Amino acid sequence: MSGFEVYNSNGALTIDSDNKSIVMSTVKAMGGLSDTGFYRFSSDFGDGGNLGFLASDFFPAEGLRWYQPQVNGSYCFPGASLYQVNTGRFMLSSNTAGIQSGYLDVFNAAGQLTWSAASAGTMPRIMDFFTVPSSHDLATTLTLNTAFADPWICISQCPGNISSDGTQGGYSGLLIRRLSSTQYQLQYINRFQKNYRTTMGNGGLRIALAYFTGY
């Protein structure tokens, strides 16, 4: 049925027959980290001394990336692939993975299956967002409460970059710290790179928080 749309109670579009739904493909443990403490920075959460890099081939080239922090007090610099060892896990989701035909199949105008109730359990359910108001400069730490516990954070939406010219390191991007299962802190840091307002403008920032059935 082309033209089919479903919205949740917050007015967000959740099913759209014109766009194939994203489904879960892989749950991954963090594994070992490299170069822990090599890059240092200034933030309210720490100096990066206990952060290391994920393996260079950890993520596939395609698909959305999700991270679930599991340890209170831990923080990460997801845009730069810097994490504290053994503090969370990852979910990979893709719109190229197949959808199983079943009850309430939804098709696009070309007759391609874009959603089904049979595959709904493998899809990320967006239940909340990290919302940074347009009035807030994220150089100042922001504390947010989530509508549900232990969310999967869409780190594909998290800006971040770290670089070095061999003598000095530059960085910019979003840090996330877990205080509890429902309370998190965000801060945007930068050195020798653009600050939050220059990079993001005055439109604020919104990062999806999902629930995956069984996880």
Domain ranges of the chain: 27-93+124-211
For residues 104 and 116, give the distance between their C-alpha atoms in angstroms, rounded to a whole number: 6
Residue 136's pLDDT is 96
Nearest-CA neighbor of 18 among 100, 93, 95?
Answer: 95
For residues 152 and 67, give the distance between their C-alpha atoms in angstroms, rounded to a whole number: 5
For residues 148 and 36, give the distance between their C-alpha atoms in angstroms, rounded to a whole number: 31
Question: For the whole model, what pTM was predicted?
Answer: 0.84
Contact 41, 191 (CB under 8 A): yes
Nearest-CA neighbor of 74 among 210, 175, 189, 187?
Answer: 175
Contact 140, 188 (CB under 8 A): no
Structural tokens at position 115? 């959603």
For residues 134 and 173, give the distance between their C-alpha atoms in angstroms, rounded to a whole number: 17
Q: Which residue has the tokens 């990852």?
A: 90
pLDDT > 70: percent of the chain: 75
For residues 139 and 118, give the distance between their C-alpha atoms in angstroms, rounded to a whole number: 44
Contact 203, 149 (CB under 8 A): no
Quick check: helix, strand or coil at residue 196?
A: helix
Structural tokens at position 201? 């403008």
Residues 143-198: pLDDT tens digits? 999 999 999 999 999 999 998 777 778 999 999 999 999 999 999 999 999 999 99
Segments in the chain below pLDDT 50: 1, 20-21
Residue 20's pLDDT is 46
